A and B are shown apart, each in its own frame.
Chain A
Amino acid sequence: MLKLIGTRLLLVVPQLLIVSILVFLLVYLIPGSAAAMILGEAGSNPEAIAQVEAQLGLDRPFVVRLVEWMGAALQGDLGTSLQSGRPVADLVAERIPATLSLVAGGLLVAIVLGLSLGVLAGTHARRPVDRAVTGLSSLMQSVPEFWLGLLMILVFVIQLGIAPVVAWVPPQQDAGAWLQGLILPALALGVGASALITRQTRVAVTSALESRYADTLTAAGVPRRRIVWVYALKNAMVPVLASSALAVSILFGTSLVMERVFSFPGMGTMLLNAVLAKDFPLVQGTVLVICVIIIAVNLVVDIGYGLINPKARPQ
Chain B
Amino acid sequence: MKNTVMKILVPLSIAGLLLTGCGGGGGSADGGAAAASDTLRVNWGGFPESWEPGSQAMEPGYMRVPYETLVLREKDGTILPNLATEWEFGEGATSLALTLRDDVTFHDGTPFDAEAVKTNIEYVRDVVGGQFGGPLAAVEAIEVVDETHVSLTFSRPFSTFLDLLSQRNLPMGSPAAIADGSIKTNPVGTGPWAYDESASTTGTKMVFSEFEDYWGEEPGFPNVELYAIADPTAAAAAVISGDVDLSDVEEETIPTLEAAGNIDTFDYPAIRNNVVFFDRGEGGVFADPKARQAFCYAFDGQAAADLTGGETATQHFIDGEVGYNPDITGYETSIDKAKELWAELGNPAVDIEWPAAPFNEQEVTVRAENANQLPNVNITVQSLSVPQFVSTWNSGQYPLGIGNHAQITPADWYGSWFSETAPSNPSKTVSDELKALATDAQRSGGSPEADEKWQAALKQISDEALVCSHAIGVELIAYNTDRVADVNPAIQVWEQKLVDLRAITPAD
Residues of B383-403 whose CB lies within 8 A of A: 384-388, 390-392, 394-397
State whether the Cβ of B489 lies closer than 8 Å to any Cβ in chain A.
Answer: no
Give the distance in Å from the alpha carbon of A164 to the alpha carbon of B335 in the complex: 53
Interface stretch (choices A1-9, A62-70, A178-186): A178-186
Which of A156, A157, A170, A273 is in CB contact (< 8 Å) with B201? A170
> Could you tell me if A261 and B234 are in contact, using CB atoms closer than 8 angstroms?
yes
Interface stretch (choices B235-243, B281-289, B460-468): B235-243
State whether the Cβ of B129 lies closer than 8 Å to any Cβ in chain A.
Answer: yes
> A165 with B202: in contact, given A86-B185, A179-B18 (CB under 8 Å)?
no
> Could you tell me if A276 and B386 are in contact, using CB atoms closer than 8 angstroms?
yes
**Contact mask for chain A residues 264-276; partner B; CB cutoff 8 A; 1 contact, 0 none:** 1110011001011
Contacting residues, chain A, for B30 (C-beta < 8 A): 177
> Could you tell me if A263 and B227 are in contact, using CB atoms closer than 8 angstroms?
yes
State whether the Cβ of A158 lies closer than 8 Å to any Cβ in chain B.
Answer: yes
For residue A161, which residue of chain B has the nearest CB? B26
Give the distance in Å from the alpha carbon of A178 to the alpha carbon of B256 in the complex: 28
Residues of B40-98 whose CB lies within 8 A of A: 49-50, 56
Residues of B353-395 whose CB lies within 8 A of A: 384-388, 390-392, 394-395
Give the distance in Å from the alpha carbon of A265 to the alpha carbon of B321 in the complex: 41
> Could you tell me if A158 and B240 are in contact, using CB atoms closer than 8 angstroms?
yes
> Could you tell me if A261 and B391 are in contact, using CB atoms closer than 8 angstroms?
no
> What's the nearest-Cβ distance from chain B to residue A50, in Å?
16
Contacting residues, chain A, for B260 (C-beta < 8 A): 158
> What's the nearest-Cβ distance from chain B to residue A137, in Å?
19
Which of A42, A153, A278 is in CB contact (< 8 Å) with B395? A42
Interface size on B, residues (CB 8 A): 60
> Could you tell me if B49 and A84 are in contact, using CB atoms closer than 8 angstroms?
yes
> Could you tell me if A263 and B18 are in contact, using CB atoms closer than 8 angstroms?
no
State whether the Cβ of A108 lies closer than 8 Å to any Cβ in chain B.
Answer: no
> Could you tell me if B204 and A156 are in contact, using CB atoms closer than 8 angstroms?
no
Give the distance in Å from the alpha carbon of A263 to the alpha carbon of B20 in the complex: 19
> What's the nearest-Cβ distance from chain B to residue A303, in Å?
32
> Could you tell me if A156 and B19 are in contact, using CB atoms closer than 8 angstroms?
yes
Give the distance in Å from the alpha carbon of A208 to the alpha carbon of B487 in the complex: 66
Contacting residues, chain B, for A170 (C-beta < 8 A): 201
> Could you tell me if B31 and A40 are in contact, using CB atoms closer than 8 angstroms?
no
> What's the nearest-Cβ distance from chain B to residue A261, in Å?
5
> Could you tell me if B392 and A36 are in contact, using CB atoms closer than 8 angstroms?
yes
State whether the Cβ of B222 lies closer than 8 Å to any Cβ in chain A.
Answer: no
> Could you tell me if B228 and A42 are in contact, using CB atoms closer than 8 angstroms?
no
Residues of A252-295 whose CB lies within 8 A of B: 260-266, 269-270, 273, 275-278
> Could you tell me if B201 and A177 are in contact, using CB atoms closer than 8 angstroms?
no
> Could you tell me if B228 and A265 are in contact, using CB atoms closer than 8 angstroms?
yes
> A261 with B231: in contact, given A40-B391, A44-B392, A164-B243 (CB under 8 Å)?
yes
State whether the Cβ of A150 lies closer than 8 Å to any Cβ in chain B.
Answer: yes
Give the distance in Å from the alpha carbon of A260 to the alpha carbon of B388 in the complex: 21
> Could you tell me if A154 and B237 are in contact, using CB atoms closer than 8 angstroms?
yes
State whether the Cβ of B219 lies closer than 8 Å to any Cβ in chain A.
Answer: no
> A95 with B49: in contact, given A153-B237, A158-B260 (CB under 8 Å)?
no
Most chain A CB inside 10 Å of its own CB: which residue of B204, B227, B397: B204
> What's the nearest-Cβ distance from chain A to residue B304, in Å?
24
Contacting residues, chain B, for A169 (C-beta < 8 A): 31, 201
> Could you tell me if A43 and B395 are in contact, using CB atoms closer than 8 angstroms?
yes
> Could you tell me if A162 and B231 are in contact, using CB atoms closer than 8 angstroms?
no
**Contact mask for chain B residues 148-175; partner A; CB cutoff 8 A; 1 contact, 0 none:** 0000000000000000000000000000
> Could you tell me if B22 and A176 are in contact, using CB atoms closer than 8 angstroms?
yes
> Could you tell me if A158 and B18 are in contact, using CB atoms closer than 8 angstroms?
no
> Could you tell me if B49 and A277 are in contact, using CB atoms closer than 8 angstroms?
yes
Which of B18, B20, B243, B384 is in CB contact (< 8 Å) with A165? B243
Most chain B CB inside 10 Å of its own CB: which residue of A40, A150, A277: A40
State whether the Cβ of A47 lies closer than 8 Å to any Cβ in chain B.
Answer: no
State whether the Cβ of B230 lies closer than 8 Å to any Cβ in chain A.
Answer: yes
Which of A84, A150, A156, A276 is in CB contact (< 8 Å) with B184? A84
Interface residues on A, range: 35 or more
Residues of B1-47 whose CB lies within 8 A of A: 15-16, 18-22, 26-32
> Could you tell me if B233 and A154 are in contact, using CB atoms closer than 8 angstroms?
yes
> Could you tell me if B227 and A166 are in contact, using CB atoms closer than 8 angstroms?
yes
> A168 with B204: in contact, given A86-B185, A276-B388 (CB under 8 Å)?
yes
State whether the Cβ of A242 lies closer than 8 Å to any Cβ in chain B.
Answer: no
Residues of B413-436 whose CB lies within 8 A of A: 423-424, 426
State whether the Cβ of A297 lies closer than 8 Å to any Cβ in chain B.
Answer: no
> Could you tell me if B31 and A165 are in contact, using CB atoms closer than 8 angstroms?
no
Contacting residues, chain A, for B32 (C-beta < 8 A): 164, 176-177, 180
For residue B133, which residue of chain A has the nearest CB? A41
Contacting residues, chain B, for A157 (C-beta < 8 A): 27, 237-238, 240-241, 243
State whether the Cβ of A85 lies closer than 8 Å to any Cβ in chain B.
Answer: yes
Give the distance in Å from the alpha carbon of A36 to the alpha carbon of B7 in the complex: 61
Contacting residues, chain A, for B478 (C-beta < 8 A): none
**Contact mask for chain B residues 105-133; partner A; CB cutoff 8 A; 1 contact, 0 none:** 00000000000000000000000011100
Give the distance in Å from the alpha carbon of A32 to the alpha carbon of B383 in the complex: 12
For residue B393, which residue of chain A has the nearest CB? A41
For residue A275, which residue of chain B has the nearest CB? B385
> A276 with B385: in contact, given A84-B185, A180-B19 (CB under 8 Å)?
yes
For residue B227, which residue of chain A has the nearest CB? A166
Give the distance in Å from the alpha carbon of A94 to the alpha carbon of B204 in the complex: 12
Contacting residues, chain B, for A153 (C-beta < 8 A): 233-234, 237
Give the distance in Å from the alpha carbon of A163 to the alpha carbon of B52 in the complex: 36
Give the distance in Å from the alpha carbon of A36 to the alpha carbon of B393 in the complex: 12
> A158 with B391: in contact, given A164-B27, A165-B238 (CB under 8 Å)?
no
Those 6 A-B pairs whose CB atoms lie nearest each other, nearest first? A265-B203, A177-B31, A164-B27, A165-B238, A276-B385, A44-B395
Q: A150-B231, A265-B228, A277-B387 are known; give 18 further A-B pairs, CB within 8 A.
A: A32-B388, A40-B390, A84-B184, A94-B203, A98-B203, A150-B234, A154-B256, A156-B19, A158-B237, A162-B27, A166-B227, A169-B31, A173-B201, A174-B31, A176-B31, A261-B231, A270-B203, A276-B385
Q: Tell me the A residues contacting B by CB distance below 8 Å.
A: 32, 36-37, 39-44, 83-86, 94-95, 98, 150, 153-154, 156-158, 161-166, 168-170, 173-174, 176-181, 183-184, 260-266, 269-270, 273, 275-278
Q: Tell me the B residues contacting A by CB distance below 8 Å.
A: 15-16, 18-22, 26-32, 49-50, 56, 129-131, 134, 181, 184-185, 201-205, 227-231, 233-235, 237-238, 240-241, 243-244, 256, 260, 384-388, 390-392, 394-397, 423-424, 426
20 contacts between A and B (CB under 8 A): A41-B56, A83-B50, A95-B202, A95-B203, A150-B231, A154-B237, A157-B238, A161-B241, A162-B20, A166-B204, A166-B244, A176-B32, A177-B30, A177-B32, A180-B18, A180-B19, A260-B231, A263-B228, A263-B229, A278-B387
